[in-house]
Amino acid sequence: MADRIKAVVLAAGKSTRMKSDISKVLHPILGKEIIRYLLDSLAGCGLKAEDIVVVVGENQPEIEKALGGGFVYARQHEPLGTAHALLSASAQVAGHEGGLLVLVGDNPYVTAAELRRLIDNHRQHQASCTFISAVFAGDIPPFGRIVRDGQARVERIVEEKDASPEERRIREVNASIYLFDNPVVFPLLSSIGNGNAKKEYYLTDIIAILRRRGLGVEAVQAGDSDIAIGINDRHDLQLAQAKFNRRHQQQLLENGVTILQPETVTIEHDVQVGRDSVIYPCTYLGAGTRIGCHCSIGPFACLMNARVPDGGKREFVKEQG
């Protein structure tokens, strides 16, 4: 199995549940598009733009304009399921001799660390397919369930609409992040049928096909179940905004910044604040903002791509760089 890895990002989905004219994967989370979180994680694994194929649909002009040059694009002309979407990239990846990462473009929670862990596990076991699963302790989201045999080996993935009541109680779900041995797996994609409740060609069906052929399949359980959650509607988007905001605030706290009434403070991506600075309530720090040390920001300040020198003070102000 060759070491070189390419990636296919499935991004042809419409914004039906978003009720939006903007492609779902281009909606921003704290100043950065959903799909860019994923692309940044791929870059963190050493993948270059030319190693990444983005599968698009009617949203192709919009996606290409937003992402710019460098990426490779494939067109899915009809939304017939995830396996069909991957087959739409045949011209770009069918002859690739290494590993093929397949991901969905509406998932901002995928981290470079989890992808590196997936890659390491795949190479260690010399598997034909390794994918990431997530275990939910509380309510189980409506995702594909991981069915295992008596030896705890992955047997198949069953989508919720096709699952039995017993299968729906399984807490381990598919995160839709796969790494395939491309020369082995890609030729088998055409054998996937659509005999299911949605009449779609599910990429998840490749797991059972590989197992029936005696080929190795591994599942890597994620440390954080968030990795399985995509952004499908405005509620999901709102939850993601809150999660990433808390994460950004935590990073600043660990670097010596004080944040008062953090529930009223919003911090977008790519914001830097120096130690011993204080962020007061009702403050918004936009992407690209750079704040020095020993600063006082807010209350009621909105800084967008702004620069504040050491010891600076900003309150009751909207400032844009």
For the stretch 4-56, pLDDT in tens is: 999 999 999 877 888 899 999 999 999 999 999 999 999 999 999 999 999 99
Burial of residue 278 (CB within 10 Å: 0-12, 13-18, 19+) is: middle
* CA proximity to 1, closest of 183, 132, 130, 177: 183
- How much is the mean pLDDT over the chain? 94
Q: Looking at the DSSP assignment, which residues form a beta bridge with residue 56?
A: 75
The alpha carbon torsion through 311, 314, 320, 321 (nearest 10 deg) reads -10
**What backbone torsions phi and psi does residue 93 show, to the nearest 5 degrees?**
-130, -10
For the stretch 191-235, pLDDT in tens is: 999 999 889 999 999 999 999 999 999 999 999 999 999 999 999
Helix (H), strand (E) counts: the chain: 9, 22
For the stretch 236-289, pLDDT in tens is: 999 999 999 999 999 999 999 999 999 999 999 999 999 999 999 999 999 999
255-320 shares the fold of 5-228: no
- DSSP code for 263: G
- Say if residue 1's pLDDT is above 50: no
User: Domain residues of the chain, as ranges?
Assistant: 5-228, 255-320
CATH, range 255-320: 2.160.10.10
CATH, range 5-228: 3.90.550.10
